[in-house]
Amino acid sequence: MKIMAHTVIAYPDLESTKVVCEKYIAAGMEILELQIPFSHPTADGSILTQANRLAAKEISTSGALDFVEELKTQHPDQKVMLMSYVNKIFSFGIQNFISRMKKMKVPYLIIPDLPFDSPLAQKFHEDDYVQLIPVLSANTFSDRLKLAMSSKPDYVYLMADFKITGSQFSLHENIKNLISKIKELHPAKVGLGFGISNAEQVNQCLEIADFSIIGSALTKACDEGRIDGILKEFQAEVL
């Protein structure tokens, strides 16, 4: 299924995260986006902010990486992307973090608050294994788009509109044009995220993008005991 399913590691606890990851994998989610919790996430709405703040009290960065490593050992063919904020990774040590990613066999990393052309980002770009996934929006200028794609990433994370996670879904009028420009520069797979909550919206995204990204809606469904139902809905209705 062409969905990247997001979850915050250790929300509400580590065992619950294991259960939900197994459900995502069993449902056929193409990619798991596993978030290392941070107490002050800047790109997230209320649902994921609360999840991050609670989970950050439960687990360390090292513990979160241990969880991912165990999951990859059990499901070596499952595509996984790590997501966190720069403060957590800088505190852990960038080279230490890169080494752990190689050990886990997880090459993809999303850091929403790290500009892809910053000196810290360069440390990731210089590595021959780890890929820093560009996070782009509809107002990305051509020069910056070319710079973002110059590292030839396998994937691009594209914000569907100028919002935070968990907001109402909408597609910015420039999104389709931006995806075409991305594809002209490099044949990366483009994911659309922010505000997607149902199969109809997923299919709307898949008309122009390679996969859809869902986070807050899945976390809310877990909180409300609806996760099995929403996964079945996706399995039945997503193109």
Residues in CB range of 225: below 8 A, 6 or more apart: none
* Buried-exposed string 40-75: b where 16+ CB fall within 10 A, e elsewhere: ebebbbebbbbbbbbbbebbebeebbbbbbebbeee
Mean pLDDT over residues 129-144, rounded? 94
pLDDT over 70 (residue 164): no
Nearest to 158 by CA among 171, 142, 144: 171
Residues β-bridged to residue 158: 136, 192
Better pLDDT: 75 or 163: 75
Distance in angstroms (rounded) separating the CA atoms of residues 227 and 7: 12
**Looking at the predicted structure, is the pLDDT value of residue 39 above 90?**
no
List, for residues 75-134, the tens digit of each pLDDT value. 999 999 999 999 999 999 999 999 999 999 999 999 999 999 999 999 999 999 999 999
Q: List C-alpha distances in Å: 198 to 10, 189, 215, 224.
A: 24, 21, 11, 15
How confident is the model at residue 234, as a pLDDT?
Answer: 97
CA 85/CA 33 separation, integer angstroms = 13
Tell me the pLDDT of the chain averaged across its residues: 94
What is the DSSP-derived secondary structure letter of residue 147?
H
**Residue 38 to residues 50, 57, 198: CA-CA distances in angstroms?**
10, 9, 27
The tally of CA atoms less than 13 A away on the side-chain side of residue 202 is: 25
The tally of CA atoms less than 13 A away on the side-chain side of residue 153 is 27
Q: Taking the model in full, what pTM does it have?
A: 0.94
Determine the pLDDT at residue 221: 97
Q: Are strands 31-35 and 135-136 parallel, antiparallel or unpaired?
A: unpaired
Provide the token pair at 162: 């100028």
Domains of the chain, by residue range, sit at 3-230
Q: Which CATH superfamily is domain 3-230 in?
A: Aldolase class I (3.20.20.70)
- Please tell me which residue, 39 or 65, carries the higher pLDDT value: 65
